[in-house]
Chains A and B, each alone.
Chain A
Amino acid sequence: MAQHVWGPDATAMVENHKPQDALLMKYQHNIVDMEQALKGKRILDIGCNHGLWSYMAHRHGAEHVVGLEPRGMFTKGLNAFAKEYALPMEFVQGYDTDAGKLIDQHNIDTVLLMSQESLIQWERLMYDIRNSRVEWIIMQTAAFPDEWLQPSDELKQWIGQHKDKEAKGYTVQYRVPNATVRSGLDPIAKGKVDPETGYRLTDKGQPEPNEVSEIRWTKSRGYIENFLEHAEFETVKVTAQDEEVKQTVGSDALLKLMQWWLIRNKK
């Protein structure tokens, strides 16, 4: 699979691959603990990246898996992998805005949504899912505790103009400088990226060397809970990270911010 995605340069890596602790933690919480929403189901993995979780969903009993990913280098390699081994998986090059169409086309039962909430218009996607045939959402988030932000007296007063109002979560918008990996998801940069890698390019076809920032929206745990309640999703279970991890490239798992959700789309 790695060789289909990354080519012969991945050969040495996979011969001696030892999954890091953060990867095993994700496997436990997104796949092993979520089998009721995977087994016999038709899955849409939104933002499937290297396809590992799509494949694991298949290995854990999914009837059919569709992976959605904007970067062609992944979808092409993964389709070649699925074809070679006759796996019930297919990968579509597209954006989160294509999810609704794919859910209908493929009679999707379960959406796998891992670490997408700060990258895309998450609320719009959740509304699309809410209004679809999807029964289950397996979601991994990295939201910060609400206590990290304390509302000022002015904000409390403004929110409190109506006595029933209270702050129930926050979204923090911020810029990530020198972003490249996710440029392809940015509606402003979408037309200026290499469709294979998603990197923003110069006119010479090289990665953009100057500062290219992207906007992200990190949410608090209360915000996500509040939104799910508002959209009338049923949270069947939510698990907060309690494992300490050391081997990870990002800060989310290091700060123990991960949460795993099993959500039912009530009809």
Chain B
Amino acid sequence: MLHPTTVSLTVRARFSQDQTAPGVKMRLGDSRSEHQFTHDQEQHRITVTADLNEGQHTVFLHYNSTADAQGSVEIVQMHIQGMPIGRPMYDGTYHMWDEPNNEIQGELNMTRPGTWRYNLGVPAHTNHYGVGFA
């Protein structure tokens, strides 16, 4: 059985006037979404919905790996099926592209291009507290 699962990440960009605006791509299963920031302190909620089989899946947020990517992006909130999950979002792991072996758990501020990932149990309402009708 497939379980439609929607995850949103609210992401804020920070960069100075002489830096290039960062962009982000999000993936869950076969679904993708992306956003290019245009101004400092811009906050954007990026969302993906995927039909997933029961089991463990991973949500990925990539800080775009372009040659001139600058500034930083910070994850400020995570929603699963519309429910803000609170502290468990610190269970995610971030690594910079140029330091693939340096995995940092609990870091929500992506200061250089890299990937943040979060393990998601499906169906979400039986695996994550507070999500859906449980």
Binds A, one of B16-24, B59-67, B84-92: B84-92
CB–CB B87/A16 < 8 A: no
A205 to B83, CA, bound (A): 17
Judging by beta carbons under 8 Å apart, are A180 and B86 in contact?
Answer: yes
Q: How many A-B residue pairs have CB under 8 A?
A: 87
List B contacts of A208 (CB < 8 A): 87
Describe B's contact surface by its main secondary structure. Answer: mixed
User: Which residues A164-221 have CB closer than 8 A to chain B?
Assistant: 178, 180-181, 197, 199, 205-209, 212
Structural contact, B82 and A10, CB atoms closer than 8 A: yes
Residue from B3, B4, B126 within 8 A of A249 (CB atoms) = B126
Residues of chain A with a CB closer than 8 A to B87's CB = 178, 180, 199, 207-209, 212
Binding site secondary structure of chain A: loop
A249 B128 Cβ-Cβ under 8 A? yes
The answer to whether A50 and B86 touch across the interface, beta carbons within 8 angstroms, is no
List B contacts of A12 (CB < 8 A).
4-6, 49
The answer to whether B86 and A17 have CB atoms under 8 Å apart is no
Residue pair B82, A7 in contact (C-beta under 8 Å): yes
Q: Is the CB of B81 within 8 A of A9?
A: yes
User: Are A207 and B47 in contact, CB atoms less than 8 angstroms apart?
Assistant: no
Do B4 and A13 have beta carbons less than 8 Å apart?
yes
Given A8-B82, A50-B133, A249-B129, do A13 and B5 touch, yes or no (CB 8 Å)? Answer: yes
Minimum distance in angstroms from A237 CB to a CB of chain B: 25
Separation of A7 and B79 alpha carbons in the complex (Å)? 11
Nearest chain A CB to B46 CB, angstrom units: 12
B86 near A207 with CB under 8 A, answer yes
Is A32 an interface position by the 8 A CB rule? no
Identify 18 new A-B residue pairs, CB closer than 8 A, beyond the known A10-B82, A206-B77.
Answer: A6-B83, A7-B82, A8-B82, A10-B6, A12-B6, A13-B4, A13-B81, A15-B4, A18-B1, A20-B123, A20-B134, A50-B133, A206-B76, A208-B87, A249-B125, A249-B128, A249-B129, A249-B134
